[in-house]
Amino acid sequence: MNCDLNDISSGGLAERLAPLLLRVERPSRYTGGEWNAPLITEGGTTVVLAYPDVYEIGTSNLGLSILREVVNGMDGASAERTYSPWVDMESEMREAGMPLFSLETHRPVGDFDIFGITIPHELTYTNILNLIDLAGLPLLASDRDSGPLVVGGGCGTANPEPIAEYFDLLFLGDGEEAIVSLVETVARGKAEGWSRARTLDEASMLPGAYRPGDYQVSYEADGRLSGVARRDGAAGRPTKNLVDLDRWLYPRRPIVPFCEAVHDRLNVELFRGCTRGCRFCQAGMTYRPVRERTAGEVVKLVEELADATGHDEVSLCSLSSTDYSRIADVASQVAEICRHRQMIMSLPSLRMDSMSAELAARLDRGGRGGLTFAPEAATERLRNVINKPISESEMAEAIVCSVREGRRRIKLYFMIGLPTETDQDVEEIAGLVYRLRDAVRAEKLTPPSFNVSVSTFIPKAHTPFQWCAQADIETIRRKQQILKSSLRARSVNLSWHDSEMSTVEGMLARGDRRLGRLVEQVWSSGARFDSWTEHFDFDRWMDAARGLGIDPGFYLERERASDEVFPWDHLDFGLDKGFLRDEFERALEAGLTADCRQAECAGCGVCERLGTEPVLKGVAADG
Amino acid sequence: MAESGAQPLRLRVQFTKEGNARYLSHSEYSRTLMIAARRAGLPVEYAGMKMSRMKVSLSPPLPIGITSESEFVDYNLVAYMPAAEAQQRLEQALTEGIRPVQCRLLGADARPVGKLIDTATFRVDLPAEAGSEGDWSGAVERFLEKNSVPYERVQPRRTRVVDLRQGVHTLIIEDRAAEGDGVRLGMTLDDGIAGTIKPWEVVEVLAGLAEVDRDVWERARVHRTGLFARRGEKLVSPMELGRTKSAAGRGARGGKY
């Protein structure tokens, strides 16, 4: 059969893939060949980077794009992509006996040197196991003595313990430098004929590397961890990597998918890290300190990438874009570029206390009309508890500014189940939304429609709330009912996250290695795409937990003692555990901690431990 | 990008859809052509800021898996750009499998290509195991002898019976020469404003007549060789049409199928 799919080597699967493509939904998920897709023509050290979800979600991931271009910029190395095949494709592949393949050369993943999997969140764990299995590799790292090194990274490494034993190696923190050293190590190993075990030993010594197999976890009789012991001769405590953004390559040729991806736009990263100190936010803690890209570089990237992609939207992304030290300047220059190129500009993660009228005017001019804000909690007391002290007048001003600039839809994110939350705090969500609507009316403007999205608070590792109990499913359901009965207005659309999904996510978020058996059992009973409501099956998780004698309440509903050993304590993200505990105690008293960019050092420990400091490159965009 | 006071124009482009591009759905293909116009810097007209509001008209959808040498797109332009320059820019801006074959500038009042096309020609290359030319020529003859060929068309929301015979204008066994062992069929089908008969539907009926199994005929390769507007007995290419609305002939009608 004549085959057009790229298939450079004799090991390519393109010919076998072609008939399958005609039987699945959206075959373009598996063909590759998009704009800017890397053209792989030679071997060398081969890397395949995987996102454990469907193509449309994975292709938008900025981290993997960065790593792919970093590797493809190296001599004698290449990086390709793979994603979780959708359920129809998986069943075709399994029936045809076809292993997981890369999109660029359609080679089996098992033939690569490095199989990198990003860990985006807990509900992708079953997909991660599925990727390893589809690649034809034994699931557990300890059972693998051949094939690629299975390496993990990404924000899920904050507590990778439930799936740690399935990875040969994990890397903490920024991945740019780490992947270069890893590829160099593997290349040296290939050149010198090292065994897989020797290569793994050498790679485990690299900065930021964490080899789960080097650690032995022990437990108390009541189930709590008693300790995590490092194997003799293993590398020191795994400590996260940090890079200077301006010194590292930013993807100059982002892939433009044929289909509409979840983030169907050009992403330019303004900065990494955030020191606002929201106590629920894991990224805000683990990505510290703030490291900005220079303003001139941001503007240059927007121009360059607009040419390279043809996208009609540019997003200046970060954990809190309006906190970028020269946001007004950069937004104004980028808005000008957009005006000439028939593009719109968007800023995700807008903070209501830094939304100025000027910025509102620049955003997404004449665009689709929606803006999203995250007050998180409806009462000032509760916002103080989470250390996100935005006043109601600031919120009203942000909404009024946005509506004045033509916004017709405002999305507001809230959380329920926060520590110290009362029923009144939940009822107040309705009160706040109505007051914001009235504030718009008071300005003689037509109120926008409000989409109120309410998620369930899940305590995460390396945050001040890591000691908290998570609200149980009945409490969450009751609070959702309070919301439902209190928020009844035609212009308000209320949605909330599935409380069952939050239960599973919460259990895994602070889980230990014993939960690996649970994930594996749920996966083997058919669980895939757990973050998709149509695929998530709560009973499957609970049945498996019961069968294995695992009590979800132990992980969810138990407030941890102040001296509890956490499964992630041996992973160093620079944060001082004492600081997190102080923050937790301050939270219970609704006390605030200021952002170290504006006030004195809060003592989180990151700068001291990692020998770094916040990088605020507030230089003029033209200089 | 927009230049005020410019003469509105329409750029008609004939594209291919081959190689990997055959796996693109119609919406993916149209999105790809819109991004290509942006990357090529064509002065395209928009009804709003977003790309989805780009003013384009596309020829009838091509089912996934079928290749084509003749897909058409009209881009509304807000400024003049020579057709040759547009073609060259598109060539550089496109991805593998999609290539601009020819470009032509039309007046803004020309009938959009999506409202012109009513007929398509296809070439079907059957695998060698699908039987001999004799088996298939018998099936073709029997098909053409019939006054009506009812076919149950199963769609996501409804299933209904359509008469394939009405939409099949020509059906022949073509000479495949040195290109392979299997039988090659050529067919001219209703496709576009008057309703659509899909080539796979015709192949399925013919295979039934020739007693060929589904797993064999499903491996046939189908290629759209042309899209046309019927003018009496003549098939006219959209590249030769569309000077003005009055030249459009039969106009939009309700679908027959």
CATH of the domain at A388: 3.80.30.20
CB contact under 8 A, A258 and B39: no
Domain residue extents for chain B: 9-112, 119-236
A345 with A410, same domain: the answer is yes
Residue A312 lies in a domain: yes
- Tell me how far apart the alpha carbons of residues A32 and A534 are, in angstroms, rounded to a whole number: 27
A278 with A192, same domain: the answer is no
A189 with A78, same domain: the answer is yes
Q: Give yes or no for residue A367 having a pLDDT over 80.
A: no
**The two structure tokens encoding residue A67:** 């790593």
Does A2 touch chain B if contact means CB atoms closer than 8 Å? yes
Query: How many angstroms away from the CA of B144 is the closest CA of chain A?
Result: 29
**The two structure tokens encoding residue A27:** 């075959």
Please list the residues that pair with B154 across neighbouring strands. B159
* pLDDT, tens only, A98-113: 999 999 999 999 999 9
ipTM of the complex in this document: 0.88
CB contact under 8 A, B20 and A4: yes
The range of the structural domain enclosing residue A370 comes to 265-514+550-610
What end-to-end distance do the CA atoms of chain B give, in Å?
42
CB contact under 8 A, A313 and B93: no
- Residue A59 near residue A126 (C-beta atoms within 8 A): no
- Residue A559 near residue A585 (C-beta atoms within 8 A): no
A380 with A479, same domain: the answer is yes
Q: Give yes or no for residue A312 having a pLDDT over 60.
A: yes
Q: Give yes or no for residue A539 having a pLDDT over 80.
A: yes
A344 with A472, same domain: the answer is yes
Mean pLDDT, chain A, rounded, equals 92
Return the pLDDT at A6: 54
CB contact under 8 A, B38 and A26: no
Return the pLDDT at B3: 42
- Count of Cβ atoms closer than 10 Å to residue A435 Cβ: 14
Cα B171 to Cα B139, B168, B182: the distances in Å are: 11, 7, 17
Which chain A residue is nearest to residue B94, measuring alpha carbons? A35
- Residue A6 near residue A104 (C-beta atoms within 8 A): yes
Chain B residues within 8 angstroms (CB to CB) of chain A: 1-2, 18-20, 22-25, 27-29, 31-32, 35-36, 38-39, 46, 48-51, 64-65, 93, 95-97, 218-219, 221
- Tell me how far apart the alpha carbons of residues A211 and A169 are, in angstroms, rounded to a whole number: 5
User: Which of B30, B38, B42, B126 is the best substitution to test chain A (most A C-beta atoms within 10 A)?
Assistant: B38
Return the pLDDT at A2: 40
CB contact under 8 A, A22 and B18: no
pLDDT grade for A50, boundaries at 50, 70 and 90 = very high
Of A31, A310, A367, the CB nearest to B20: A31
**Average pLDDT score over residue span B234-253:** 65
A216 with A270, same domain: the answer is no
Contacts of residue B95 in chain A, CB cutoff 8 Å?
33-35
CB contact under 8 A, A367 and B49: yes
- Tell me how far apart the alpha carbons of residues A520 and A133 are, in angstroms, rounded to a whole number: 11
Contacts of residue B78 in chain A, CB cutoff 8 Å?
none
Overall domain count for chain A: 2
CB contact under 8 A, B25 and A312: no
In CATH terms, the fold of domain B9-112 is Alpha-Beta Plaits (3.30.70)
Of residues B238, B203, B206, the one with CA closest to residue B65: B203
- Residue A254 near residue A35 (C-beta atoms within 8 A): no
- Residue B176 near residue B184 (C-beta atoms within 8 A): yes
CB contact under 8 A, A310 and B35: yes
Q: Give yes or no for residue A619 having a pLDDT over 60.
A: no
* pLDDT, tens only, A469-480: 999 999 999 999
Return the pLDDT at A194: 97
**Average pLDDT score over residue span B85-92:** 96
Give the DSSP letter string of B131-163: --HHHHHHHHHHHHH-S--EEEEE-SS-EEEEE
A281 with A201, same domain: the answer is no
* pLDDT, tens only, A130-166: 999 999 999 999 999 999 999 999 999 999 999 999 9
Does A254 touch chain B if contact means CB atoms closer than 8 Å? no
Among residues A211, A230, A249, the one where a domain terminates is A230
Residue A621 lies in a domain: no
Angle at CA of residue A216, ends A211 and A220, nearest 5°:
145
* pLDDT, tens only, A512-524: 999 999 999 999 9
* pLDDT, tens only, A389-437: 999 999 999 999 888 888 888 999 999 999 999 999 999 999 999 999 9
- Count of Cβ atoms closer than 10 Å to residue A139 Cβ: 21
Among residues A230, A256, A288, the one where a domain terminates is A230
Q: Give yes or no for residue B4 having a pLDDT over 60.
A: no
Q: Is A268 helix (H, G, I), strand (E, B) or coil?
A: strand
Name the maximum alpha-carbon separation found in chain A: 75
Return the pLDDT at A360: 74
- Tell me how far apart the alpha carbons of residues B199 and A185 are, in angstroms, rounded to a whole number: 54
- A:564-583 residues touching chain B, CB 8 A cutoff: none
- Residue A420 near residue A588 (C-beta atoms within 8 A): yes
Phi-psi label, residue A94: left if phi above 0, alpha if psi -120 to 50, beta otherwise: alpha
Say whether B119-236 and B9-112 share the same fold.
yes
Return the pLDDT at B2: 42
What's A214's domain CATH number? Answer: 3.40.50.280
State phi, psi for A296 to the nearest 5 degrees. -60, -40
Any idea which of A258-267, A373-382, A414-423 has the lowest mean pLDDT?
A: A258-267
Return the pLDDT at A387: 97
Q: Is A293 helix (H, G, I), strand (E, B) or coil?
A: coil
- Residue A310 near residue A603 (C-beta atoms within 8 A): no
Contacts of residue A367 in chain B, CB cutoff 8 Å?
49-50
Q: Give yes or no for residue A1 having a pLDDT over 50.
A: no
Q: Give yes or no for residue A611 having a pLDDT over 90.
A: yes
A413 with A502, same domain: the answer is yes
**The two structure tokens encoding residue A176:** 């740019």
In CATH terms, the fold of domain B119-236 is Alpha-Beta Plaits (3.30.70)
Instruction: Say what percent of chain B tops pLDDT 90.
Output: 73
Q: Give yes or no for residue B24 having a pLDDT over 50.
A: yes
CB contact under 8 A, B49 and A256: no
Instruction: Say what percent of chain A tops pLDDT 70.
Output: 96
Return the pLDDT at A369: 56
Q: Give yes or no for residue A9 having a pLDDT over 50.
A: no
Residue A246 lies in a domain: no
* pLDDT, tens only, A233-242: 999 999 999 9
A451 with A577, same domain: the answer is yes
Residue A236 lies in a domain: no
